[in-house]
Every structure is written in structure tokens, then in C-alpha cells.
A and B are shown apart, each in its own frame.
Chain A
Amino acid sequence: MMVLRESIIMKIHYGTAIGALSLTVVHILMRLTQDFHESLAYENVIANYESVGYALLLELLLILISVHGFNGLRVILLEMNQGPTYEKAVTIGCLAAMAGLIAYGSRTIIMTSMGMV
């Protein structure tokens, strides 16, 4: 089952990789601006989430990595076995898992940044 042309999917795969790479650098640098353990202290994390810019960065990172990771999984599964039913299941399964993870992660980001904790 083909949802998009394979070359377009691959451009997305490369794009999400480069995007995730640049944002991860920012994400890690933020951890390093403070002492590692301190940066993960509850109050600091909440403060981080409440800054709109940082929440946006996390949301973007969540989307980029989910798309990249689940497409990578789809690729491996397609290469492991073939057949119309199987391939349809792989495509739908990976898309659903991708959407599910993005939704679950977004819930954390949105609720925390809106102070619903």
C-alpha cells in the first residue's frame, strides 16, 4: 500500500532527521545550561514547559522524531516480509502508532504548559 510516493517519504525522512538533529542540539544545550540533575528538578521542568518557546520546541521535536522513527520502523518491517495484506497492516499500524505517540506526548506538553498540573 502506497500512501505517498516513496521518494517523497524519503525526503521527509531526511528532513525530519536534520530537523530533529538541530532541535536536539538545542534541547541538550538547555540541559547543560544548568547542572544536569538540577535541570531535571520538578520545578525547573515545569518552568521550562511554561515557556511557550520551549514548549513549541518540544512539540516540534516530538513530531519530527515520531515521524522519522515510525517511518524507519515501517521501512524495516517492509523489508522483512511482503504481501498486500501485510504491507497494508504495516503502513496503517505505523501511521496509527505515530499519531498515537504524538497525541500522547502533546497531551503532556499542552497540559503542563497551560499549568494544568
Chain B
Amino acid sequence: MMATLHPKLSEERSQTVVSSTKSVKLKIKRSNPNVNSEERFDDYVVPIEKWTTVLDALLDVKSHLDHSVGIRYSCRQASCGSCGMKINGKPALACFTKISELDSDTITVEPMDNFPVVRDLAVGFERMINNHKKVMPYVIRDDSEIDPESGMREFLQSPENVEKYIQFSSCIKCGLCNSACPTMAMDTTFVGPQALAQAYRYIADDRDKGKNKRLKVIDESHGIWRCHFAGSCSQVCPKGVDPAMGIQLLRGYLLGIRD
């Protein structure tokens, strides 16, 4: 359906300077599970420029056509990890996806799969964050950076060793990997590619001494072995984390071919 404009909105619209002659149809999946189980698609036509991102288009809808569309975003520059959604069927960051690159006249946006929907395009991250916490995403050591005698000191890291995990520390917790993963589609207790990649990030850091603790957490029946290297997580990661690589490297510790 084409949303009808509120008179105030259409007035606002007519005053907006539109420099573009091109437009695109946004099909937005709407639902509000807290109220009822109804799901529907609303269509909106928005003008686009070469640089318009899906997030820009959604914000255009929100400011001019329908204030009620529920989305979550913050940084608009692929840093905060809030705006993950399914764009034309594939998980992606709305702020990092240019409409001109999608090569289609209709853009379908839906909430990410394998996350509970909060409303419309916003999903709940509680579970992912809990699993992230479970793998202890911090340097574990007996000693501390606060030294009783000299005050503060730093755990030094060499540039060569940084290269071993810097890739995995780019994770912005956007959840795209978890929503692409086939195991995640049915396994409600799977720890997930996001957390597994972070487990590797800290184990590969030679300042860290928490390897055995973390391996124990992930070596259980819904841990690392529920990954079968379908690689879908890495296909969608917007930051080049390549969680599938991290997971396969992580297995080496448990298979006894790496220590």
C-alpha cells in the first residue's frame, strides 16, 4: 500500500527541495510483537541521489512520510553497529549500503533474521550481548594494570602480535553474522559467530592468560562445534572481521594442533 500523507506532512514535503529526479520504492516490513502478531509491508517512494544510503532513505520516510517507522541507528558511519537489517534479503548495515549499488528499483527492508523483533526494523540484542559476555571479552590476567608500588603501568603489546588479532577487534557487534548463520536459524542456544570470533580475538592476544577458561565455555554442546563453516557470517560482516576464519583458527586449540 502507498501510505497516504498527513496534510501537515504533505505541506512539509512540498517545501522540501528535492534535487534528484530519481526515486526508489522502499518496502518496509512493519510489525509490533508487543501489541499483536500482525506483519505487513508498507511501501514508500523516496527520492535518491547517487550517495543516498538505505538509512538516509529510511530517515527520509520518517521525516516526511511516516514518523512511526521503528528503526535503530546512531553513528551513520558503520561504527556503532545499530542499524543492521535485511536489505533485499541479505543482512547489511543500512548506513553502509548505498541504494545506487543495489541496482534495483524496489528496496525491501526487513528486520534481521534470528533476532527477536522489538518493533518494525529494530531487533533485540540481549542474547547476543550475553553470549559476547560469556566468552569474557577482556584480557584476563592474575596481575593488574594498577601496580601498588609504581601506580599505573601498561601491559605492553608488540606491533607484530597486534597483527594477529587486530582483524577480530574490528567487530562492532552489529549482529549481521549471527543473522546470516544457518545454525543460528534453528539452534536457539548456539553461542554464535560474533561471540566465537571474540573468543579468538582474546585468546590470540598474548597478553591474555584466559585461554583455558574461554575454551571451556565454547567446548560444550551448543558451542563452537555447531559451526560447520558455511561461511555466511563472513559474507555479510561489514568490518572485515571474517568470523569464520576466527572460528576455524579457534578450533585448532581444541583439536590440539595449536597452543
**Segment from A25-33, A51-59, A77-85 that makes contact with B:** A77-85
Instruction: Determine if B186 and A79 form an interchain contact, defined as CB atoms under 8 angstroms apart.
Output: yes
**Segment from B28-36, B47-55, B200-208, B214-222 that makes contact with A:** B214-222
Interface centre among B187, B188, B221, B254 (most CB of A within 10 A): B221
Given contacts A6-B219, A6-B220, A7-B219, contact A82 B188 (CB under 8 A): yes
CA distance A1 to B221 in the complex (A): 8
Instruction: Determine if B226 and A79 form an interchain contact, defined as CB atoms under 8 angstroms apart.
Output: yes
Cβ 8 A contact of B225, one of A1, A7, A80, A82? A7
A-side contacts of B220, CB under 8 Å: 2, 6
Given contacts A10-B225, A11-B255, contact A5 B219 (CB under 8 A): yes
User: Chain B 128-161 against A: per-residue CB contact (8 Å), 1 yes, 0 no?
Assistant: 0000000000000000000000000000000000
Whether, in the assembled complex, A87 has its beta carbon less than 8 Å from a beta carbon of chain B, the answer is: yes
Instruction: Determine if A7 and B187 form an interchain contact, defined as CB atoms under 8 angstroms apart.
Output: no
User: Which chain A residues in 64-109 approach chain B with CB under 8 Å?
Assistant: 75, 78-82, 87
Cβ 8 A contact of A78, one of B219, B221, B254, B255? B221
Instruction: Determine if B221 and A87 form an interchain contact, defined as CB atoms under 8 angstroms apart.
Output: yes
What is the size, in residues, of chain A's interface with B at 8 Å between Cβ atoms?
A: 15
B-side contacts of A9, CB under 8 Å: 225
B-side contacts of A81, CB under 8 Å: 186
Given contacts A6-B225, A7-B225, contact A79 B187 (CB under 8 A): yes
Closest A residue to B254 by CB, please name it: A7
B-side contacts of A80, CB under 8 Å: 186-187
Cβ 8 A contact of A6, one of B187, B188, B190, B223? B223
Whether, in the assembled complex, B23 has its beta carbon less than 8 Å from a beta carbon of chain A, the answer is: no
User: Which chain A residues in 1-54 approach chain B with CB under 8 Å?
Assistant: 1-2, 5-7, 9-11
What residues make up the interface of B, taking CB atoms closer than 8 Å to A? 183, 186-190, 219-226, 254-255
Q: Given A78-B221, A82-B189, 12 other A-B contacts at CB below 8 A?
A: A1-B221, A2-B220, A5-B219, A6-B219, A6-B225, A10-B254, A10-B255, A78-B222, A78-B226, A79-B183, A80-B187, A81-B186
7 A-B interface contacts by CB (under 8 A): A1-B221, A6-B224, A10-B225, A79-B186, A79-B226, A82-B187, A82-B222
Return the 7 tightest CB-CB contacts between A and B, nearest first.
Answer: A7-B254, A79-B187, A6-B225, A7-B219, A82-B189, A10-B225, A80-B186
